[in-house]
A and B are shown apart, each in its own frame.
Chain A
């Protein structure tokens, strides 16, 4: 039971990270291979805002969102925009190169040391009917769930969200109706990295922070996007939860050191039997 709860909580965080990736992919068919590095940047942003200004990660969430959103919009205007019409391999190299660049730069600036936020506001444990859950883990999951709901509401219910969907379904048709696709793409990057910012901020209360921290998370996010159906945001929620549960239960029932393996076993099963993912669009 303990494992189910902690898997579920972790799953909600994966879901939000994956939705950011999925949103960007659905919008312009570009895979952000630097997604994990963006998550790492978000965690470092939380860390430095704490270390230098004494702001708790919870308090600095809006600042981290702003930093990452600006980072996302800049990524679109200075890099992605130029490879939109290029071959897929060029696009892969662009975001993969960006990932390596960000990671190396982080190692250079901040060294590969493990850091953590000492004495965060969220700490300790809470108890539900005999099950103990870390306070920061619990809060992180809840915040990510609400962020996810907010994103889903924005994309499916607001005027701008509909324009975003229109652009993702047919860029030219949207453009002739007056929807500026370039702005929509920038918005997609801003939102996508905004999701990552929230997840990263929340995790910085209880995770070690180092330049390679994003790698596993981005792998899980890719699996979640493939599992959930490329471009589907709701699919990311289910897929994220499944991954969290498999990781946690697999580690408990068999052997913790293989838990990554179970997640990829699921991935392979989905790729073989249902390559379009389990869910449709949005």
Chain B
């Protein structure tokens, strides 16, 4: 098991938003984290990066307990987190953004190699090296954010709502890119609200409702599940 989250509770101050959630990702797997708005999907990813520390439960990565490892040390052990709404550095160039993705020493050493690989996946970025990130379109910024995450040479790439606001064309490109990434041996855990889209890509899915895990399993089982339909359609 690459990522193994067990029975976590998460609170913002004293307001609990996650109750007893468990979730796992195996090596080389693409997993979808589903749920309506405000159900706690981003909070789960943020907890995995320790942007917020769980009150209870355990988070293991590659078998090691990491609940207390500070956020900035997590890229080094192989976790990259692409935050919700892209969050590129607006006043830095595309290349500067990418370079910052390879910040820890191991990634820094391989920076040129990684850059070449990434330009093969995202050819548009190489033409835009010197452009400020803020001047790119939403879709391009999403690509940049994902590329920046890959520069850290992760074993697990976590992406929060990557398809939000993308055109159908760009969405299709990104789906292919995700497949490509997984074929290269990197696991993906992504958050998505469109159940059909998410389950057509992922091998497994986890469904949250109001901070609780309601159902999880193989995509093909979830896609026809009445429980999933109830969570998203409310009937």
**Contact surface of A with B, Cβ cutoff 8 Å:** 159, 162-163, 165-166, 169-170, 172-181, 280-282
In the assembled complex, the CB of B49 is this many whole angstroms from the nearest CB of chain A, namely 5
In the assembled complex, the CB of A27 is this many whole angstroms from the nearest CB of chain B, namely 13
Q: Count CB-based A-B contacts (< 8 Å).
A: 64
CB < 8 Å neighbour of B152 from A170, A173, A178, A282:
A178
* Interface stretch (choices B87-95, B174-182, B211-219): B87-95
CB of B55 within 8 Å of the partner chain: no
When C-beta atoms are compared, the residue in chain A nearest to B71 turns out to be A175
B100 engages A174 (CB within 8 Å): yes
When C-beta atoms are compared, the residue in chain A nearest to B70 turns out to be A180
B72 engages A175 (CB within 8 Å): yes
CA distance A280 to B135 in the complex (A): 15
CB < 8 Å neighbour of A178 from B87, B89, B90, B103:
B103
A173 engages B70 (CB within 8 Å): no
CB < 8 Å neighbour of A170 from B49, B76, B87, B104:
B87
Interface CB pairs A-B, < 8 A, 24: A163-B103, A165-B89, A166-B100, A169-B89, A169-B90, A169-B91, A172-B83, A173-B83, A174-B89, A175-B71, A176-B71, A176-B74, A176-B75, A176-B80, A176-B83, A177-B75, A177-B100, A177-B101, A177-B148, A177-B152, A178-B152, A179-B72, A281-B91, A282-B91
CB of B193 within 8 Å of the partner chain: no
A169 engages B72 (CB within 8 Å): no
**Contact surface of B with A, Cβ cutoff 8 Å:** 49, 51, 70-76, 80-81, 83, 87-92, 96, 99-101, 103-104, 107, 148, 152
Main secondary structure of the interface of A (DSSP, over half): helix
Which B residues are CB-close (under 8 A) to A159? 99
When C-beta atoms are compared, the residue in chain A nearest to B107 turns out to be A178
CB < 8 Å neighbour of B87 from A162, A173, A180:
A173
When C-beta atoms are compared, the residue in chain B nearest to A172 turns out to be B51
A180 engages B51 (CB within 8 Å): no
In the assembled complex, the CB of B12 is this many whole angstroms from the nearest CB of chain A, namely 12
